[in-house]
Amino acid sequence: MAELRAAVYIAPPILFASPSGKGKGGVWSPISCTLVYAANEAVLVDTPITIKQTEELISWIKRIAPGRKLSYIYITHGHGDHFFGIPQLLKEFPEAVAVATAGTVAHMEQQIQEKEYHDTWEVRFPGQIYRPFKLADPLPSRNEFRLANRWLFRAIECGHSDTYSSTALWQPDLKLAVCGDVVYGQVHQMLGEANTKTKREEWIRAVEKIEALDPAYVVPGHCQAEEIHGAWHLTNTKKYLVDFGEVLKTAKDRRAVIEGMNKLYPDRFNPAALIMSAVRAFEVPKKARI
């Protein structure tokens, strides 16, 4: 086999309950989990949300790279849908070390605070998330680690994307950028925390940090299972942000934003994310959102 290779598992979309307890709830977008592996060791980037999803990820790891020691679990950012599977994975792969940047670790700590966890996650996925939690350890100040004392992995601090303290993991030998939620595939982007023009511009600059690496392979944090992980995801992510801002300039209400973006992006999965983005955009003054 090639000395180093990578594979991507897409945890399929799942239903979530209505946070208010009324209505039908919605669909959570598919989540990418990337395995980079050599002859004897492997690195996993990000986890899914639920116990069932993580069980399926573990089965996939054992099938796609059997017999490897899982040395590291890298977390790209602090949203719970990218790290809640850590304790289950450590139970199966006890030699693994979960790592992230210091900024991501701080965000993870915020996500598991009792009220934040309950209001954001438990109400949507009651009884489906593994407890107790296990967070990542902060990387050394250089934000680097090596697989098998040989292959370099570097955390790229990108700033604000769909949340703060976002990162990507760069593997230079493969020219592979595993981007977390800095980059999206053919799935509606979550702009709930990027509901101002300033935050969307920060997100565009975050994507440009990854573009500057000149990657051959780009793995979005949320994408459809059939997608190829090409560099065009960088351009498409930026364009979506620009288009959202343009639609906002003339939209009188959130319904107009949803209609405008669906017209531009009829093939993107999960309009529930678009609805949330539109709702949050109208929670800030007009001068801030456009």
DSSP string covering 171-218: ETTTTEEE-GGGSB-SB----TT--SHHHHHHHHHHHHHHHTT--SEE
On the question of pLDDT at 106 being above 70, the answer is: yes
**Residues near 227 by beta carbon (within 8 Å), at least 6 away in sequence:** 185, 186, 220
Pairing of strands 97-100, 137-138: parallel
How far apart CA 279 and CA 255 sit, in angstroms, is 9
Residues 6 or more apart in contact with residue 223 via CB below 8 angstroms: 10, 30, 32, 184, 185, 186, 187, 229, 233
Asked if pLDDT for residue 138 goes beyond 60, the answer is: yes
Mean pLDDT over all residues of the chain? 97
Q: Report the distance separating Cα 232 and Cα 219, nearest Å.
A: 11
pLDDT digits (tens, 9 = 90+) for 244-257: 999 999 999 999 99
Q: For a pLDDT cut of 70, what percent of the chain falls above it? A: 99
Average the pLDDT over 138-160 and give the result.
97
- Look-up of token digits 């343009």: 246
For residue 268, what are the contacts with CB-CB under 8 A and spacing of at least 6? 186, 187, 188, 274
Please answer whether residues 182 and 158 qualify as being in contact, where contact means their C-beta atoms are separated by less than 8 angstroms.
Answer: yes
Q: Give me the mean pLDDT over the 123-128 stretch.
A: 97
Say if residues 191 and 244 touch (Cβ distance below 8 Å): yes
> What average pLDDT does the segment 115-129 reach?
97
Please give the radius of gyration of the chain, using alpha carbons only, rounded to the nearest integer.
18
Please name the fold of domain 5-190+213-230: Metallo-beta-lactamase; Chain A (3.60.15)
Tell me how far apart the alpha carbons of residues 83 and 98 are, in angstroms, rounded to a whole number. 9
What is the Cα–Cα distance from 219 to 256, expressed in whole angstroms? 31
CA 199 – CA 267 distance, rounded (Å): 25
pLDDT in tens, 24-81: 889 999 999 999 999 999 999 999 999 999 999 999 999 999 999 999 999 999 999 9
Tell me the whole-structure pTM to 2 decimals. 0.97
Quote the pLDDT of residue 20.
82
